[in-house]
Structure formats: C-alpha cells, structure tokens
A and B are shown apart, each in its own frame.
Chain A
Amino acid sequence: MPETRFTQEHEWIRMDGDTAVVGITDYAQQQLGDIVYVELPAVGKALKKGDEAAVVESVKAASEVYAPLSGTVAAVNEALAADPALVNQAAADAGWFLKLTGVAAAEFGQLMDEAAYKKYLAGLA
C-alpha cells in the first residue's frame, strides 16, 4: 500500500510510483457538504507548491485547492465532470482530483503522515 500524506488544507497525496495522486480528505468533503462542481487544471500545467490547482464548489461555497507539491499536471479525474458527488462518496480514492509528475521526494516527506493528520484534526474539533 503506497503511503498517503496530508496537508493542513485537507488534501491527501499518495505516491503511485513517480506520480503523486491528489484529492481532498473525507473531513474536507464533510465540511463542504454536497459538492456540485470541481474545476480542474489543464493537463501539462506546471504548478508550484501553493499554487491554485483546482476549485471545488459545494452548494454554498467555492474553495480553492492548492498544489501540495510542485509538479506538472499529468492527469485530471475526468469522471468528476459528470459526477462531482464522487468526492462526497469516495474522497480518498474514486474522488481523486489530479496527478502530478516531477515531484520532489523531499517535499512529499515534509507533509503530515496519517497519524499527524489525525492529531491535527483532533486539534480542530
């Protein structure tokens, strides 16, 4: 099982070989409520860590999703266009947003692991 890491902005990042798969956490989808639209970046776009990578819209709000790592967009989850509710139903897998290549292992290593993220969430409650 590849390791998953997390950000304070409630994104998850999973390394799949050299590719980082990015989505938002179950906590994030619960906070947002019914997700009605996900605006995804163009494939091939180079992102620096912290750049706006996507926008997720729920019935009440629009929130930016920031690139958790620097890299190049290799793929986006086209299934979200037809069925944005996938993010609510399966935030951690089928509801992924985008894949990044050319990421630095060191940047990945600086992100929170699952235990640290759980502790971070507990601190928010």
Chain B
Amino acid sequence: MRYLPHTEADRRAMLAAIGAGSVDALYQDVAGSARLPGLLDLPRHQPEMTVERELAALAARNRPAGSMAFFQGAGAYRHHVPASVDHLIQRGEFLTSYTPYQPEVAQGTLQALFEFQTQVALISAMDVANASMYDGATAAAEAVMMANRLTRRRKALVAGGLHPHYREVIETYGRWGGFTVQAGAPDPTGIEDLVAGIDRETSCVVVQNPSVFGHISDHTALAEAAHAAGALLIVVVTEIVSLGLLTPPGEMGADIFAAEGQSIGNALNFGGPYLGLFATRDKYVRQMPGRLAGETVDADGRRGWVLTLSTREQHIRREKATSNICTNSGLCALAFTIHLSLLGEAGFTHLASLNHARAVQLAEKLGAVKGVTVLNPAFFNEFTVRLPKPAGAVVDRLLERGVLAGVPAQRLWPDRPELADLLLVAATETNTEADLDLFAGALVEVL
C-alpha cells in the first residue's frame, strides 16, 4: 500500500488555501499528451522471481552501447570511464552529502567542487567556473540570459551549427523569459557568416565548437565583431574531450563558456543525468548563475572552502537572483573531477589525440566507400557524411549488421528534408580497428 500522510480533508484544505480546484489542476501546465490518464496497467502482485524474469526480458531488448560497434555522438559520447571513478564517487562522504545546503559542514564536497571549477576554468581558458549546471543545453540557455542581463539587450543570435536541441532549450527559455532568438539555418558545410547578423539589439552570439556537424572554427574574429557591437560571445562545447587538442574558447575571446561535461567521468546514462559546465570572465562573475565554491582560511588560518558570492542566488536574492538554479550536478561533477584528475594534463591530451586519430581513420575508410562524401575539411572526433540514400534507412540496415552507425541529421531536424542524406558519425577511443572495418564493410553492403 502507498503511505501518504495527507487525508482527503487535508488535501481539500490545502487546495482551498491556494485556490486550486483539484490536484490535477496543479498540473495543467503539463501537456495532456505527457500525462498518464490513469494507473499503469500492471498486475496487482507477482512473485519476486517472476518480476525479475520479466524485467530481465525487457532489459534484454535494449542494445547497450558496448554490445556493438558504436558511432553515435551528436551531444552524447561513449568514452571509457575507469572503474575507480564509480568506486570513488560511491563513498558515503560524497554520495550522501550531494549538493551542499549547509555547505561549510561538508568541506570535502566543497573542496571537490573547487577543484572541479579549477579544472573547468583551465580547460576552457576562462577565469572562473561555477559548480556546474544541469546539462549543456540548460547551461547554454543560462548563458544567454546572463548575456541579456550584462548587455541589457534581449536578442540572441544563434548559429546554425548549434545542436538543435540546445537551440530549442534556449528558445523555450526565451518564450517565457522575454527574449528573442534569431537562429541560423542548419550549417552542414560550416561556412555560415554570423557577423552580418549582429546588430545593436544583439545581446550575444551563440556558437558551438566543434559544431553539431563536427566543423572546427576559429571564432576570434566573431568575438571581435560581437564586442565591437556591444554583444558577447558564448561558445558551446558538447564534446569536452575536444579541449584536449583544440584552442579553448577563452583564447578565442569567448565571454561565456557553456558545455556538456558528460564525456569525462559520466556514462551515456540513457541521456541523463548529465553535467553542465559554465565559465566566464572575472568581470562578469556577479551575473553568473549557479553555485560557486571558494577558497578561504578559517579563524585559525587553516585552508578551507565556502560557498561564495551567494547574494547572486535564489535563497538570498529571491526573484532577483541571477537564475532559479539553486543546486548543481554534484555527483556528475565529482565523477568528472576524479576522471580528469586520473588522466592528468598529459593524459587528457593523449585521450583527445586517440579520439581524433580514430575519427580520421574512420573518415578515410567511410570516404573510400563509393557514393559517400565526408563534408568536413577539419574535425575532432565527429564528422558528417553525405550518403547516396536517406541516412535513416541506412542506419536501420547497419543496425542489423551490428553497427550503430551514427545519428541521421533528419532526427535532429525533422522538418529539414534537405538533410535526409546526412549522417553524423563519431568515433572515440572505445572504437577498435575491427569496429571501423565492420562499419565500412557493412556500409558497402547496404548502399
């Protein structure tokens, strides 16, 4: 039985106090199609062994990433996470303290967050990073709102190379947060010129590097053009391992860095929980959203950690806070920090090199298949190929041959039929030479 302490009379009294007619009325903002009309159709009770068998049978219908040659990317990447990471984050001191609500009691948690922030700032070449956001897409939307506050403008110019899910999250925030989004068309060839789109209303330009199609760009000139017009440059990174090799956003003049940190320390996790990374310049820290761990000394002069600049935050500043985020992705951030610490600077660079080398090998093999064109002159571990047939059907047929071949562009842009033949393909250190050969061989067969 369910244990719910409230009686019907309690519920009626609470609903009357807030002026709601029913409990369901509290959920009216959730689309009907997303709501369950009644109870799940489940048997009332079953023996435990029967339930285990049933669930095991359901789970067996999944195709785990590790069970086949896997080339999916487009914002979520399969990397090897050392077993020590999962072991360490499950220590009770870390696992149970989670996000600090009485922060200074949990010095270990704060120190870990401080180290995390330091790592994020170092790899992005920014001045200051926060203790993390929910994921890359919400970090990007928060970055736009921060730029709006700083510039007192309300229009974001969003690149066609930005992952469309990120763009949609930004648009959702804009719809309810009162700003407009001027978005470029999907840019599979990586040639879009954003400078012409900047005007005196533009609060920020949002670009992704590498772009969702895998293109690598130098955004220095774009940063200069944005700054000349009084706008900020936001650089989004969805594959954080790329910063082991590529010029970091801070060195290209980015004002805000918003990224997905899943690749380091965190498994694919069916799409979440993920880890939003967020960093900016010192001079903008007051408008930065999120928690911030700082280093200080206690009354006896010993090194210690605190949550700092909390007056930006909701529990003090209420509706005037920089953001309504009052938590962070604590455990995912810890996993990131442990994994990156284990790698070290040289290891991180080496990991990035392995990824790039695998992707180059794959691009050569796929590019040699008749009718297949690699669109990217330069890429990190992900690139776009044009197939002689619709990519969705090709991916389905490759799946039958044990290859998860990538993400058809059409899945990300369902309303863009001109992208039907494009496939986004990623390779990481987890792919073997045999995987690459299987993919290229199977592609010849299905085309």
A93 CB-CB contact with B under 8 Å: no
Chain B residue contacts of A61, Cβ below 8 A: 311, 316
B389 CB-CB contact with A under 8 Å: no
Jot down 18 A-B pairs with beta carbons below 8 A, ordered by A: A36-B311, A37-B286, A37-B311, A39-B286, A42-B152, A55-B320, A57-B311, A58-B311, A59-B311, A60-B311, A60-B316, A61-B311, A61-B316, A62-B311, A62-B316, A62-B317, A62-B320, A64-B320
Most A C-beta atoms less than 10 A away, residue of B152, B311, B317, B320: B311
**For residue B287, which residue of chain A has the nearest CB?**
A39
Shortest CB distance A41–B (Å): 9
Residues facing B in A38-59 (CB within 8 A) are 39, 42, 55, 57-59
Interface of A is mostly: strand
How far is A96 from B172 in the complex, measured between Cα atoms in Å? 39
Shortest CB distance A38–B (Å): 10
How far is A61 from B309 in the complex, measured between Cα atoms in Å? 10
How far is A62 from B320 in the complex, measured between Cα atoms in Å? 9
Q: B residues engaging A (CB < 8 A)?
A: 152, 286, 311, 316-317, 320
**For residue B317, which residue of chain A has the nearest CB?**
A62
Chain B residue contacts of A36, Cβ below 8 A: 311
Shortest CB distance A46–B (Å): 14
Chain B residue contacts of A60, Cβ below 8 A: 311, 316
Chain A residue contacts of B320, Cβ below 8 A: 55, 62, 64
How far is A39 from B309 in the complex, measured between Cα atoms in Å? 14
Other CB < 8 Å A-B pairs besides A39-B286, A57-B311, A62-B317, 6 of them? Answer: A37-B286, A60-B311, A60-B316, A61-B311, A62-B316, A64-B320
Chain A residue contacts of B317, Cβ below 8 A: 62
**For residue A38, which residue of chain B has the nearest CB?**
B286
How far is A36 from B316 in the complex, measured between Cα atoms in Å? 15
How far is A93 from B149 in the complex, measured between Cα atoms in Å? 28
Interface of B is mostly: helix
Shortest CB distance B407–A (Å): 43
Shortest CB distance B171–A (Å): 26
Chain B residue contacts of A58, Cβ below 8 A: 311
Residues facing B in A5-58 (CB within 8 A) are 36-37, 39, 42, 55, 57-58
**For residue B316, which residue of chain A has the nearest CB?**
A62
How far is A57 from B152 in the complex, measured between Cα atoms in Å? 20
Contact with B along A48-90 (1 / 0, CB 8 A): 0000000101111110100000000000000000000000000
**For residue A58, which residue of chain B has the nearest CB?**
B311
How far is A60 from B310 in the complex, measured between Cα atoms in Å? 8
How far is A61 from B317 in the complex, measured between Cα atoms in Å? 8
**For residue A59, which residue of chain B has the nearest CB?**
B311
Chain B residue contacts of A64, Cβ below 8 A: 320
How far is A42 from B148 in the complex, measured between Cα atoms in Å? 13
Shortest CB distance B223–A (Å): 22
Q: Which 6 A-B pairs have the closest CB atoms?
A: A57-B311, A62-B311, A62-B317, A42-B152, A37-B286, A62-B316
Chain B residue contacts of A62, Cβ below 8 A: 311, 316-317, 320
How far is A58 from B261 in the complex, measured between Cα atoms in Å? 33
**For residue A56, which residue of chain B has the nearest CB?**
B311
How far is A36 from B310 in the complex, measured between Cα atoms in Å? 11
Shortest CB distance B306–A (Å): 11
Shortest CB distance B434–A (Å): 58
Chain A residue contacts of B311, Cβ below 8 A: 36-37, 57-62
Shortest CB distance B428–A (Å): 43
How far is A60 from B309 in the complex, measured between Cα atoms in Å? 9
Chain A residue contacts of B316, Cβ below 8 A: 60-62
Shortest CB distance A85–B (Å): 15
Shortest CB distance A51–B (Å): 13
Shortest CB distance B130–A (Å): 17
How far is A60 from B320 in the complex, measured between Cα atoms in Å? 15
**For residue B286, which residue of chain A has the nearest CB?**
A37
**For residue B313, which residue of chain A has the nearest CB?**
A62
**For residue B283, which residue of chain A has the nearest CB?**
A81
Shortest CB distance A52–B (Å): 8
Shortest CB distance A91–B (Å): 19
Shortest CB distance B64–A (Å): 48
Shortest CB distance A68–B (Å): 19
How far is A61 from B152 in the complex, measured between Cα atoms in Å? 24
How far is A37 from B310 in the complex, measured between Cα atoms in Å? 12
How far is A60 from B316 in the complex, measured between Cα atoms in Å? 8
How far is A55 from B149 in the complex, measured between Cα atoms in Å? 14
Chain B residue contacts of A59, Cβ below 8 A: 311
How far is A74 from B286 in the complex, measured between Cα atoms in Å? 24
